[in-house]
């Protein structure tokens, strides 16, 4: 592991007299083009083909030649759409005549639509607007200019569907042909494509998830496309509180009571209680509390069916001595469910291969729990929530100013496991999205680091990482590059990770994991009711 100095290979200079921060960047499938959205409302398509850089540009960017006398050339601007020029408003065609847009339209996200030409290029861009609408912009004419032959190069993936007559085709600013995808009522926070080239998946601020299929069947009578599937991420989860006015039943305790008992009597009753607990096959606890340094409290539901019941039910309460692991108290109590709303949907990211989507939700403190982050992973192939979920506890101060950055890596090595990189208050933690366990911790970020069997990261390597840092991750073979950046600071920190593990040993570990995985019982608290629901 090392912190590395990055070498720029391309440069972009802002030609505006005012600062215009880039808020979103997406790459084409081939990596030959990228599309950016800036704070001023401009969407720009760039080519990695080097362009010319003037002396003025070199001075403004403070670029200097390296030891090999290399100066990074600028990207080539292929197309530009500007909100101030009403380029995202319809200007002709059926949708313009229907007057379906109200006011000036501005972009929040943009990504290349997976329509790949015979030449291997992508010229169609999906732009998410502040209204929640999505524009599918055909930029071929802007990119190729007056060369009609290049404008009509056929696509080998996702050919345009002729759903409108020639005279009815809708265009936006600068005469760009545009198609409308309408369903969301809130701004989007994420947009991706299943397996990078299939159906589009979009998520808005309210947790609505739409899957879009580009087909005639999804073209409505209103001349816009509608989702192929619609889901709703429940931004709340079910917790449990004791039913008032219902006393708990104490089956065993070694604490002092009215009826004094001998040590032999306590030992005999403890043995009977432990035998009774063992016969229940309780599995993993719904809740645990280790705030008392001498004792740990575990709460188990009688059965998993209780977690799906609106009425609640009986829970087992087990208290053990920390040092000896001996049973201290065993009893039962009735609990009822209550719904706890998340404070905010902080982040939504997808894996590079377009098969997994991760949600990071911020939850407040609630009776039995401190404030925490809940990380949920959604399988985009089946649109089902995976059993593996992460709960990251927060201090009250972290909750008040919670700034987290997260990124998910591609599937790695022979294990084919994606990893979630989470930075919180300047500390990095990496989780396996297969097992749900941490594989890398920052020294000083976890009190149980002495018992941790994974990789540890020296905190000095992250000394320049701000508390509100965001993440970018790239992987190649056994290498991973993590870039930390801040929206308020003009610096980047790059962490370079290298895996020296033996491939044959990794295969053996994977086989052992598969055999063990079939017997895993995930904590019941982790498979609660935070899941996407189909909605009308």
Structure tokens at 122: 């992508």
CA angle 99, 207, 89 (to 5 degrees): 20
The strand pair at 236-242 and 532-534 is best described as unpaired
The pLDDT assigned to 432 comes to 84
**243 CB burial (10 A radius; 0-12, 13-18, 19+):** middle
Structural contact between residues 299 and 315, judged by C-beta atoms closer than 8 angstroms:
yes
Identify the DSSP state of 528: S
Torsion of CA 475, 476, 480, 484, to 10 degrees: -50
Contact between 139 and 124 (Cβ < 8 Å): yes
Rounded distance, CA 484 to CA 495, Å? 8
**Chain-centre distance of CA 392, in angstroms?**
14
The pLDDT of residue 402 is 79
Separation CA 7–CA 30 (nearest Å): 21
Residues ≥6 apart with Cβ < 8 Å to 291: none
pTM score, whole prediction: 0.80
Alpha-carbon span 406 to 392, nearest angstrom = 13
Strand order in 2-4's β-sheet?
A: 2-4, 492-498, 479-485, 470-476
d(CA 137, CA 158): 14
10-residue mean pLDDT series, the chain (536 residues): 54 64 86 90 88 55 64 82 95 93 93 83 93 95 62 63 71 94 96 93 95 93 94 87 86 80 88 92 80 86 69 87 91 89 90 89 86 90 82 84 72 72 84 82 65 80 79 76 76 78 75 64 42 45
Which candidate, 175, 112, 190, 119, places its Cα nearest to that of 142? 175
Angstrom distance (rounded) from CA 251 to CA 261: 15
* Bridge partners of residue 457, in order along the sequence: 442
- Cα distances from 480 to residues 3, 120, 474, in angstroms, run 12, 27, 6
- pLDDT on residue 306: 63
Q: What is the DSSP string of 1-33?
A: -EEE----S-B----SSS---EEEEEE-TTSSE
How many Cβ atoms from other residues are within 10 Å of residue 168's Cβ? 13
Which one, of 23, 118, 26, lies nearest residue 354 by Cα? 26
Under 8 Å between Cβ of 219 and 229: no
Instruction: Report the candidate in 350, 343, 281, 292 with the shortest Cα–Cα distance to residue 319.
Output: 292
HSE-CB at 522 with a 13 A cutoff on CA atoms is 15
Q: Is 510 left (phi over 0), alpha (psi -120 to 50) or beta?
A: alpha
- φ, ψ dihedrals at 522, nearest 5°: -70, 145
């Amino acid at each position: 592991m090392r912190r590395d100095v990055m070498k720029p290979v391309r440069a972009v200079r802002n030609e505006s007299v005012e600062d215009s921060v880039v808020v979103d960047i997406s790459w084409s499938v081939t990596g030959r083009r990228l599309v950016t959205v800036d704070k001023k409302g401009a969407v720009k398509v760039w080519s990695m083909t080097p362009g010319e850089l003037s002396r003025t540009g070199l001075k403004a960017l403070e670029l200097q030649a390296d030891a090999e006398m290399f100066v990074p050339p600028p990207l080539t601007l292929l197309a530009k759409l500007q909100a101030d020029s009403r380029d995202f408003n319809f200007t002709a065609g059926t949708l313009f005549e229907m007057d379906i847009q109200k006011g000036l339209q501005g972009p929040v996200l943009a990504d290349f639509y997976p329509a790949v030409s015979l030449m291997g290029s992508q010229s169609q861009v999906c732009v998410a607007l502040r209204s929640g609408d999505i524009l599918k912009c055909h930029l071929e004419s802007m990119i190729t200019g007056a060369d009609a032959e290049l404008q009509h190069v056929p696509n080998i993936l996702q050919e345009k569907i002729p759903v409108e007559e020639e005279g009815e085709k809708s265009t936006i600013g600068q005469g760009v042909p545009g198609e409308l995808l309408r369903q969301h009522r809130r701004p989007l926070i994420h947009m991706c494509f299943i397996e990078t080239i299939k159906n589009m998946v979009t998520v808005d601020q309210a947790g609505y998830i739409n899957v879009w299929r580009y087909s005639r069947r999804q073209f409505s009578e209103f001349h816009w496309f509608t989702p192929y599937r619609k889901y709703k991420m429940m931004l709340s989860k079910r917790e449990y509180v004791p039913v008032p006015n219902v006393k708990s039943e104490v089956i065993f305790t070694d604490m002092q009571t009215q009826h004094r008992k001998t040590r032999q009597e306590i030992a005999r009753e403890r043995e009977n209680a432990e035998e009774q607990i063992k016969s229940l096959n309780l599995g993993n606890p719904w809740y645990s509390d280790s705030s008392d340094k001498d004792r740990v409290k575990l709460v188990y539901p009688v059965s998993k069916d209780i977690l799906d019941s609106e009425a609640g039910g009986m829970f087992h309460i087990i208290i053990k001595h920390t040092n000896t692991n001996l049973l201290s108290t065993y009893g039962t109590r009735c609990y009822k469910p209550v719904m706890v709303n998340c404070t905010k949907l902080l982040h939504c990211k997808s894996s590079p291969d377009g098969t997994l989507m991760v949600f990071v939700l911020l939850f407040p403190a609630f009776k039995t729990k401190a404030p925490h982050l809940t990380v949920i992973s959604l399988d985009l192939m089946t649109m089902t929530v995976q059993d593996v979920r992460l709960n990251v506890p927060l201090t009250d101060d972290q909750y008040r100013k919670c700034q987290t950055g997260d990124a998910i890596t591609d599937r790695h090595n022979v294990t084919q496991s994606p990893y979630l990189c989470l930075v919180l208050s300047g500390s990095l933690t990496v989780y396996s999205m297969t097992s749900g366990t941490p594989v890398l911790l920052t020294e000083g970020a976890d009190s149980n680091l002495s018992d941790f069997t994974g990789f540890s990261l020296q905190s000095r390597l992250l000394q320049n990482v701000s508390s509100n840092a965001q993440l970018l991750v790239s992987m190649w073979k056994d290498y991973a590059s993590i870039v930390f950046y801040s929206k308020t600071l003009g610096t980047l920190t790059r962490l370079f990770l290298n895996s020296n593990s033996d491939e044959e040993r990794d295969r053996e570990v994977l086989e052992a994991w598969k055999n063990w995985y079939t017997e895993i019982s995930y904590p019941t608290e982790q498979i609660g009711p935070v899941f996407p629901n189909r909605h009308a």
